[in-house]
Structure 1
């Protein structure tokens, strides 16, 4: 009985500590949504992240807000992605996955090759180059987190890579919808562009839903399939680490590295599994058509809340500490992947 009371007290404490930060993110999201309605081309997500970054630069949120901001930036976004699955069917997920493979594999190849070449030219070598390349080519911070223990990266390299990726996530959310409108991309073409050329899931969702609901649905499926690419990449990195360890090379596996099964469970995020399950439930007709608009509106607002929180959590000093060369590498890879995505769509007739 006492154990139950302690658990309830702990749960109540956790809720109480997250509410202030979530409340601030929601307030910013409400303001951002109003701006998005006044300027539809922006949507709510872009103003949300811009306002959040502005607040973080002027008045860095303190410890009182930190737990709620972290919760909103991570879990609110993940639940929003799950809700997006209610707008699709399994047949659509399979079709989009197959259609996107040529562009997806092409951008991944260009990114990894570019990381090797540009990294050598800029003097960014070793684990940092690997992490920035994998983060840009696959799925941002999630890919970095998955690859870091495989290659035995030190925490400083991980922090630099995540900071670099984060900067270009923000840049993508702001600039990609504008680029899409300037090029006159269709909803499907922009969804493929965002799904293959933007790093983190949060930024893919934000950029694509800003462009349109159809683009958002298409992009998240592309991103789901793209995220699975981390599995063969990490297996390849593990094999390379083992070979270099045997030959006494510099690349060493991390001490006490988790088993391959444990790592596999981490490489496929639960919310992407939830997204697929929601699509399956919708395919079976368990979600009424009348519920779709409300679910779509809810997921869009949750995305705006999450992006507002991500903006609030921006650490500008960490970006400065990363230095110019990692940022230059991230910029070159960001441009390379974007141009490759658009170029391959043009070559394959998708544009």
Structure 2
């Protein structure tokens, strides 16, 4: 088995932009008498670009939170469509990685180690339980082994990142990858809005909510977005535990190769996590870093907001419809079980 260094964090909510991009164009209008020929058509043709720029500008203001940015992206996708879909899909993964590294400059290494140890048992148990339950549920639904395993891995570890890593190991087909990514992406969008509401309703502490997000929400982008909306301490706990959870991509991918009897496979490693750890260590043990650290953290949060706008702008109704009922039932069922069981465990142990 070969291990390659490049890693693209494509989490659906990478976490990865949804497959099957929407390609909607406003129909050309007829120019009124006396108008310059083609002027009305040009105005109509530029409408998606204008709307995109305006909404992106709103996301760059202090009033735009991660959930708001995601909502604006969804509005764009369902109305005029994303005119820069190819570009935003390429930018999303890198922008998220750099944003996560920047968040490390706002965290203390000692507190992060404590949070990581606290979430270790939950992480191991939830990953094993989710993969086992997914296998049983997938067979009951009559789904293929590949699509079942992709959705189970995406739910168990970190959404689109896990799917992007495990898919090549399985030698999964393009449509299987697309369906799995679209499934976890839709659920990530729901989680980003629903989790803070549930957390406040149950009066969860910052530590409890951060841990719950890291375990029950698929992708890093949604985890960080939901935790940031809840509070600073929740953000630190959620980011640390989630990134520690993402490291399980490697053993799960290697285990996948053994179970499915695949040989000569390549496993992608999330090296950007090392950048996060390095930033956290600098912030903890190098006092000079504190001069620029607040600005880097603020820039990272802005990057996360833009990332979620890009992700929302990539989710079209075509992508949602392409999922089909059975994969979505599997993904939703696994997500609900993980969310409820982990919430119960957190409430009764912390």
- The TM tier, using the shorter chain, reads 0.7 to 0.9
C-alpha distance in 2 between matches for 1:288 and 1:134? 37
Indicate if the aligned counterparts of 2:193 and 2:226 stay in contact, CA closer than 8 A. yes
Q: What is the TM-score with the length of structure 2 in the denominator?
A: 0.80
Match of residue 308 from structure 1: 309
Indicate if the aligned counterparts of 1:83 and 1:296 stay in contact, CA closer than 8 A. yes
Deviation at 1:185, TM superposition (A): 0.8
Matched, 1:211 2:211: no
Indicate if the aligned counterparts of 1:191 and 1:217 stay in contact, CA closer than 8 A. yes
| Residue from 92, 99, 113 that aligns with 1:73 | 92
> More helix by proportion, 1 or 2?
1
C-alpha distance in 1 between matches for 2:291 and 2:52? 29
Matched, 1:154 2:173: yes
Match of residue 27 from structure 1: 57
C-alpha distance in 2 between matches for 1:316 and 1:160? 13
C-alpha distance in 1 between matches for 2:258 and 2:285? 41
Matched, 1:278 2:279: yes
C-alpha distance in 1 between matches for 2:86 and 2:134? 35
Match of residue 339 from structure 1: 340
Q: What is the TM-score with the length of structure 1 in the denominator?
A: 0.80
C-alpha distance in 1 between matches for 2:100 and 2:67? 17
Per the alignment, in what secondary structure is the counterpart of residue 143 of structure 2?
Answer: coil
C-alpha distance in 1 between matches for 2:311 and 2:52? 11
Deviation at 1:193, TM superposition (A): 0.4
Per the alignment, in what secondary structure is the counterpart of residue 347 of structure 2?
Answer: helix
Matched, 1:141 2:171: no
C-alpha distance in 2 between matches for 1:172 and 1:332? 14
Match of residue 70 from structure 2: 49
Deviations 1:274-296 (A, max 9, x none): 11110111122244445444333
Deviations 1:9-30 (A, max 9, x none): xxxxxxxxxx999955631413
User: Would the alpha carbon gap of residues 23 and 279 (structure 1) be closer, same or farther in structure 2, given more than 3 Å must change?
Assistant: farther
Deviation at 1:166, TM superposition (A): 0.4
C-alpha distance in 1 between matches for 2:168 and 2:293? 40
Indicate if the aligned counterparts of 2:282 and 2:289 stay in contact, CA closer than 8 A. no
Superposed, 1:85-124 pairs within 5 Å as: 85-124=104-143
Match of residue 207 from structure 2: 188
* Gapped regions of structure 2 (runs ≥ 5): 1-48
Per the alignment, in what secondary structure is the counterpart of residue 139 of structure 1?
Answer: coil
Deviation at 1:189, TM superposition (A): 0.7
C-alpha distance in 1 between matches for 2:94 and 2:69? 17
Deviations 1:278-332 (A, max 9, x none): 0111122244445444333222222111101111111320220120110111110
C-alpha distance in 1 between matches for 2:169 and 2:275? 26
C-alpha distance in 2 between matches for 1:123 and 1:74? 33
Per the alignment, in what secondary structure is the counterpart of residue 184 of structure 1?
Answer: coil
Deviations 1:114-150 (A, max 9, x none): 2122212222231000000000100111101111122
Q: Count residues in correspondence.
A: 302
